[in-house]
Structure 1
Amino acid sequence: MRAALPLAGVELRRHDDSTYPVETPDFEPYAHQQDLRELFRSADEFLAVNDSPTGGGKTMSWLAPIVERGEHALAVYPTNALIHDQYDQLTEELEESFPDVGASVEVLPVTAETLRTQYAAEYPEAETNGERLQRLLRTYVYQRHGPVLVLTNPDILVMMRRHIYGWSGDPGSRIRQLNEFETVVVDEFHRAGRKEQNTLLFALDEMYDLPEYQCALSKVVLLSATPTTRLEHRFEEAMSAPYHRVTGRRETVEERPFGETPTNGWSAVMPPVDLDVRSASTFDTASELLDADWEDTEAFADQPGRTVFILDGIHEVDEVYTRLSGALDERTVVRIDGFHRGDAEEKLDDFDVLVSNSAVEVGIDFSVDRLVFSAPDRASFVQRLGRLRTESEPQSARCYVPSTVAASLAEIEHDGRVPRVHLVETLEDAYHNPREFESFDWRYSAAEAYHHVERRARDANSERAEDIRERGWTRILRHFGGGDPPLTLSDVEAHADVIDSAVERTLQWYRGGSLQALVYDREPGADEPIKTYDLFYLLRYGDVEFFSRAGFDEVVPNEYAGDVSHLAPYVTGYCTYDGTIETNDDGYGRSVRLQAISEIYGWLRGDGADEGTRKPRELDGIGIDVDPDGADRITSIDHLRDGMDGDLDVLCYALKGNPSEVKNRYDLGTFLFLYPLALGDEQWCVALGLDALYLHCAVQESQNAVDLESLGIDL
């Protein structure tokens, strides 16, 4: 299916405001920048959401008032790559836009990597990342004058709040300097899943509610797409801080669509786009680009200017990059993905054609003339289309979406260019998100929060513990107890047994855990030879060889021994990587399936035999097998099996039926991963980690719907 969709550009009104704290004389702020600055000046406490368009200056909206007030602030970004990109942009912005006071602001990028390398050199006596972080913040928060701006990721924020980062030998010790930050800014909040949103909002609300002498946080700023109705309700009813949407007065007055050229006194933040809509299955866009659409693909990329391809899987990036590199002799074709992250700044400066995946869809700034992208969900569609920005001339783009979404977009009626707001409304209805189960909130987020509250209470004296439990339960009810019937403590305890141990190991982080392998990347020019990566991707598509830990140490050069030692506690297996294997005609690599060990037989044949009452559980081990594929057979798989046979601690949920059958039964979509599991002569499938909890919610909600229908209740 194909359709042509002419999209309008987006323009914002500029304002002559001599009081705005940017020191460059010709700067004219947008209304959302003025409004957020006024909120900082007039309100002592707030939760603010800025959903102005991509490219519309959301960063300046919070940076200017922070610099003006001289406060400590913590900025949270979804990826480490974005942290480093924003570090460069913010330090440059401070120098150019605030030449008089910007030099007094210290900007600190805090990731596991900077703690292990940059700050390890600065604090050689510290033995762990937790110690380094504590010493770093002590130095810059307590021992120097001037505001501090810390850039970090949600995992580190949650780990600090849950006291997981601490001194060696005392993992429960607190990084108390976190409590000195008056403002927390969360970028790209809409990109977070339900679990991540719940975890982050609960943590921020708890910090905000603490007495000021315990925690200074009083202002939370979320930079996001337009909040859903559910999130608006959450901001208003669950969060203690007063809620403000700073773009509330923008429609038609401060933001509006434009056709070919922006209005005088307004600035284009998104260009008009001639969008070519085509259909492709998720993870199969490369097949369309390189087969039926190859002539269009080559001609599109060979035009003057810069063309960007944003795809879903690394194997797709590999296929498209390889083909275009061979076809476009006179063009500079580069790739950026999880295995090719090095020299990104140089690549972004020099490319004619860039082939990438989600590694470049958020935040990283570069110019684009034409765009080809796949869009497996609504957020990805809006985010990737937003790479075309801050231009006023019409630009060209081609998108590949599921056939049902393509059909919805083809039905948009238009006489001239379609406003972006109309596009977003259509996408809301066209896409289905398999991870938006309402019961996840009270079933698992409440249990996760309860575990955190109990841990805090156990670390306190008896009088303080009672107050922590009382306040904690009130907060749990505000955030997760809005259903009918009301949430009770017994409801939470009924699910706490599922994740108590999992929270300690795999769900303690913001995103939850996944099975990772430690990789020695032996590709020529590998920019990051030692890294962790998703185990199942490597099994399906990687040219890999697995080793025992001792064998891996022998293969890896001594110069990387420190990297291996640091990352080894967080992985399941160890392998070398020499690129990707060739896929079959349908774009598939190897077939991965899990094997039942005795623990699984006992679970699914015993107490877990009843699908209606079976719960996810943490397994100590699981078997694995990979279908051989000629020369691509993994002969070293036994080394991986040894690592997965015990002390694996993987959260698991199993259902009878093959993965396709179960996905269709519960309408799960593409991004909830299920793996085949053979149990005797029966075909089962398994979800792991966070997906196990989502799948359990899907089953329970389906069964509850059937029960209500049997009672004659209209759904």
Structure 2
Amino acid sequence: MYQIKLKSVYSCPADDIPQDINLPENWSLSWHQLETFKALNNPNIDVIFNIAMTGDGKSLAAYLDTLLGEQNEQFRYILALYPTNELARDQQAQIKHYIDLFKPNNEPRITRLSGADLEIYAETEEIRKEEAIATKIENSEIIQTNPDILHYLRKGAYLMPKDRPDKLWSPLDNKFNFFVFDEFHIFNALSIANIINTMLLVRHTNRDKKYLFLSATPETQIIERLQKVGFNCQVIDPYQEQKYQFPDTLEKCRELEAKKWRKVVGAIDFIFIPLESSYNASENWIRENKNLILSHFQKHQGCKGAIILNSIASVKRLTPLLQEFLSPLKVQENTSLTGKIDKEKSLQADLVVGTSTIDVGVDFKINFLIFESADAGSFIQRLGRLARHDGYEKEREIINFDNFTAYALTPNFLVERLFNDQNKNLEQNGIYDRHFFHDQIRNNYRIINNFEGYYQRWAGVLSVLLSSKSGLGHKTIEQQFAGSKEAFKQDCQKVFNLSLKKTAFCMRKWGEEWQQLSGKKGNPIVESASSFRGSNELQCGLYDLTEVNECDRFKTYNLPSILSNLDIEPITEAEFKRILEKTKAKTNIPIPKGRFRHCLGFMKLNCYREERLNWKFTYGGDLKAIANSWKVTVLPTFRIVQEKARILQKK
């Protein structure tokens, strides 16, 4: 066990706030918030990257112009895009709170839109999804959604074949003049390529928009690519401009506070727990150290904590154990398999046990954190949940935290690199500022491949689709956008360094190969390459019998994780749908079912296994020859073999 201390972080206040920015009483702005406002109103800037650290108010920076209401007959309509629905839900509550405080003169209407929300709204109003989206566009000043919906809207996924491809994106682009991408650092190369395609499509079919990327990490790749095709970018980096201070004494903290510097995060007692790199090492450590967790809550009255793990199964196994052991403290889970009601309860619990569902942007008021991670990015992201608030309100009483403590359950190799006697990146009981510490984690932890080569190989697939007969080349808009189509294609080739003719040739070839292989029409490779996050052919529908709330029992999960961790009973798709419709009729609550449309199989979830089971994929053909071809290939058949289980075959 190694222990260090992380200094608190203070953010510089803005100087000379313009008179037309009317703030709520006793409010001030941080330097980066005012700089973002200025950049948004600078006609020479197209794209802004705000890389202020987690907890420093990037959301207010994004919405400030809109919160000031309509000025000189102009208003900043916002389309805000969040990588998770959980974050969008959290931000909706945050922005509603800001609207109550700022009281803009036009009372902007907020719409939060997910795939499930869209399906339920369309079903309730007895209209098609396309009409539902059009209604939301017309009746909203702020739309908070995920980038997937924006992506599929551009591809015409919600339209009939005879419809104009611009039927939805044209009114959207005509109205909304500001696009915000939050937590941008977690997007992968596939998503970034699709976002660039969207930006170029908007540029050449409408007028220039403002784009704001909020990220705790600078994204040099996308900046260089955007500049290559003429986007003017500005990076707002408080650290580089020396707008952060890291005081190490109470006296220095008070001096900064007297100068109106705002505390972003408090000082943290940070403990590294080195573990073997095995599947359940973190889960076992928590089981063996539950007394440590209990004693921490007993020592620090009013403590609130979170445990963030990589495995949903571990969370499912640990939650009942901790609920019983820590009683009467309230322990709740929050994962992608947790029902909506329990997710909402978890935000008020004394201890929440969750996965990546809660590490992306959700604003927890906690002072105790135990977490594992998979790489440098998730390590820094999860640490960012801690020390953002000095306390919380409970039954109209303010509870102040007396300290902040983090336990990082880390692989042995990381601890050895960080505390190596020769390198001395960190020292036992050392005191460090947050920026230096983050650099050490990035330099010594696993670095995920940034897939720089992806753009040249695959980004053009969507470019071809957007400019083809299903996009700008559609007979209903071809003449109107003839010039736009050619300019769009030229920019795509330039930004991705590829030939769209060559890409189109490959796409036709993949379709022909698939038809020869399967006897079916379609193009699975193109479908996957043009999706927003990639496709999941192994996703299954679950009817979760462990879920208390009936309407929350219908879920999706990937087959490998199901086989490893769940005790299941296979059922037919017809049986699954029958149970869903019966539950819907019984509760009179709509249940979105579009997510089950492409599921590989359906099953009942009886319970979570105490031990992980081993399984493997098998393929009857010659995989070596396929691998040596260095080509993406669709396998027509594979089998999954699991110990003491039947063989599941997928065609």
TM-score range, shorter chain: 0.7 to 0.9
Listed one character per residue, the Cα deviations across residues 348-384 of structure 1 (whole Å, up to 9, x for unaligned) are: 4542221111111122222101110111111211111
Structure 1 position 163, deviation (Å): 1.8
Distance 1:489 1:365, change over 3 A: closer
Find the residue that maps to 1:64 and give its secondary structure.
Answer: helix
Matched, 1:99 2:99: no
Q: Match of 2:474?
A: 459
Q: How far apart are 1:463 and its partner, in Å?
A: 6.0
User: Does residue 46 of the first structure (1) align with residue 46 of the second (2)?
Assistant: yes
Equivalent residue number for residue 595 of structure 2: 567
Q: Which residue in 2 is equivalent to 1:149?
A: 142
Q: How does 1:228-377 map to 2 (within 5 A)?
A: 228-238=219-229, 240-247=230-237, 250-251=239-240, 253-261=242-250, 262=253, 263-264=256-257, 265-280=260-275, 281=277, 283-290=279-286, 293-300=289-296, 302-303=298-299, 304=301, 305-344=303-342, 347-348=345-346, 350-377=348-375
> 10-19 vs 68-77, which deviates more?
10-19
1:613 paired to 2:629 = yes
SS of the equivalent of 2:641 reads strand
Measure, in 2, the Cα distance between the counterparts of 1:36 and 1:571. 43
Partner of 2:464: 450
Q: Distance in 2 between matches of 1:465 and 1:28?
A: 46
Shift of 1:390: 3.1
DSSP 3-state at the match of 1:308: strand
Residue 185 of structure 1 deviates from its aligned partner by: 0.3
- Distance change >3 Å, CA 488–CA 169, structure 1 → 2: closer
Deviation at 1:344, TM superposition (A): 4.9
How far off its partner does 1:31 sit? 0.7
For the Cα contact (< 8 Å) 1:4–1:275, is it kept in 2? yes
C-alpha distance 565-295 of structure 1, shift in aligned 2 (>3 A) = closer
Distance of aligned partners of 1:377 and 1:314 in 2 relative to their CA distance in 1, 3 Å threshold? same
In structure 1, what residue type is equivalent to 2:29? P
Correspondence for 2:616? 593
* Structure 1 partner of 2:407: 398
SS at 1:570 equivalent: coil
The one-letter code sitting in structure 1 at the alignment partner of 2:415 is: A
Question: Does the CA contact (< 8 Å) of 1:20 and 1:34 recur in 2?
Answer: no
CA distance in structure 1 between the aligned counterparts of 2:508 and 2:240, rounded to whole angstroms: 48
Which residue of 2 is the match for residue 547 of structure 1? 571
SS at match of 1:185: strand
SS at 1:87 equivalent: helix
Q: In 2, distance between residues paired with 1:538 and 1:347? A: 26
Aligned-partner Cα distance in 1 for 2:626–2:600: 30
CA shift for structure 1 position 556: 4.4
Distance verdict in 2 for CA 1:375–1:300, change over 3 Å: farther
Distance in 1 (alpha carbons) for counterparts of 2:592 and 2:30: 48
Distance (whole Å) between structure 2 residues aligned to residue 244 and residue 299 of structure 1: 48
Does structure 1 residue 532 correspond to structure 2 residue 538? no
Judged with a 3 Å threshold, the aligned counterparts in structure 2 of structure 1 residues 520 and 382 are, in CA distance, closer, same or farther, namely: same
Deviation at 1:302, TM superposition (A): 5.0
**One-letter amino acid matched to 1:542:** L
Amino acid at match of 2:617: L
Query: Secondary structure at the residue paired with 1:222?
Result: strand
Q: CA deviation at 1:60?
A: 0.8
Deviation at 1:246, TM superposition (A): 2.2
Q: Kindly indicate whether the alpha-carbon contact (under 8 Å) linking 2:375 and 2:448 is maintained by their aligned counterparts in 1.
A: no
Which residue of 2 is the match for residue 114 of structure 1? 117
**Quick one: distance in 2 between partners of 1:164 and 1:341?**
28
Report what 1:654 is aligned to: none
Could you tell me which residue of structure 2 aligns to residue 226 of structure 1? Answer: 217
Alignment of 1:25-174 (within 5 A): 25-43=25-43, 45-68=45-68, 69-96=74-101, 98-101=102-105, 104-121=107-124, 123-124=125-126, 126-127=127-128, 129-137=129-137, 139-140=138-139, 148-167=141-160, 170=163, 172=165, 174=167
The AA in structure 2 aligned to 1:90 is I
CA distance in 2, matches of 1:464, 1:171: 11
How many equivalent residue pairs?
Answer: 599
Question: Once the 2 structures are TM-superposed, how far is the Cα of residue 76 of structure 1 from its aligned partner?
Answer: 0.1
CA distance change for structure 1 residues 20 and 387 in 2, over 3 Å: closer, same or farther? farther
Which amino acid in structure 2 is aligned with residue 94 of structure 1? I
Structure 1 residue runs without a partner (length 5+)? 142-147, 482-486, 584-588, 646-715
Partner AA of 1:38 in structure 2: K
Q: Which is further off, 323-332 or 281-290?
A: 281-290
8 Å Cα contact 2:3-2:271 kept in structure 1 = yes
Tell me, yes or no, if the aligned pair for 2:493 and 2:500 is still in contact at 8 Å: no
What is the alpha-carbon distance in structure 2 between the residues aligned to residue 348 and residue 111 of structure 1? Answer: 21
SS in 2 for 1:6: strand
Measure the CA separation in 1 of the matches of 2:151 and 2:305: 38
Other-structure match for 1:438: 452
Whole-Å Cα distance in 1 between the matches of residues 541 and 343 of structure 2? Answer: 26
Quick check: 1:522 aligned with 2:545? yes
Sort the Cα spacing of 1:161 and 1:533 in 2 relative to 1 into closer, same or farther, 3 A. same
Question: SS of the counterpart of 1:399?
Answer: strand
- In the TM superposition, what whole-angstrom CA distance separates every residue of 1:299-358 from its partner, at most 9, and x where no partner exists? 345543112101111111123223222322332111111222433575245422211111
Contact 2:197–2:462 at 8 Å: present in 1 too? no
Residues in 2 aligned to 1:416 and 1:556: alpha-carbon distance in whole angstroms: 56
3-state secondary structure, aligned to 1:113: helix
- Greater shift, 549-558 or 379-388, is seen at 549-558
Q: What is the one-letter code of the residue matched to 2:567?
A: D
TM-score using structure 1 length: 0.77
**Residue identity (%):** 19
Residue 498 of structure 1 contacts residue 617 of structure 1 at CA under 8 Å; is this kept in 2? no
Relative distance call for 1:495 and 1:294 in structure 2 (3 A) is farther
Once the 2 structures are TM-superposed, how far is the Cα of residue 167 of structure 1 from its aligned partner? 4.3
Shift of 1:503: 5.6
- Tell me which residue corresponds to 1:14: 13
Q: Is the 8 A contact 2:226 2:495 kept in 1?
A: no
Which residue in 2 is equivalent to 1:513? 535
Query: Greater CA deviation, 282-291 or 269-278?
Result: 282-291
Superposed CA deviations along residues 114-155 of structure 1, whole A, max 9, x for unmatched, are 11123543x32x13x233212332x326xxxxxx10111011
1:84–1:109 contact (8 Å) kept in structure 2? yes
How far is the alpha carbon of 1:504 from its aligned partner? 5.2
Q: Which residue of 2 aligns with 1:579?
A: 607
Matched residue SS, 1:617:
coil
Cα gap change, 1:164 to 1:172, in 2 (>3 Å): farther
One-letter amino acid matched to 2:452: E
Distance 1:349 1:458, change over 3 A: closer
The verdict on how the C-alpha distance between 1:252 and 1:274 changes in structure 2, with shifts beyond 3 A counting, is: farther
| 1:199–1:225 distance in 2 versus 1, CA, 3 Å | same
> Does the C-alpha gap of structure 1 residues 409 and 231 become closer, same or farther in structure 2, counting only changes over 3 Å?
farther
Q: What CA deviation, in whole Å up to 9, does each residue of 1:492-532 have, x standing for no partner?
A: 45754686623653343310111211121222413612122
The change in CA–CA distance for 1:324 and 1:614 in structure 2 (over 3 A counts) is same
What is the CA–CA distance in structure 1 between the aligned matches of 2:347 and 2:448, rounded to whole Å?
Answer: 38
CA RMSD of aligned residues (A): 2.9
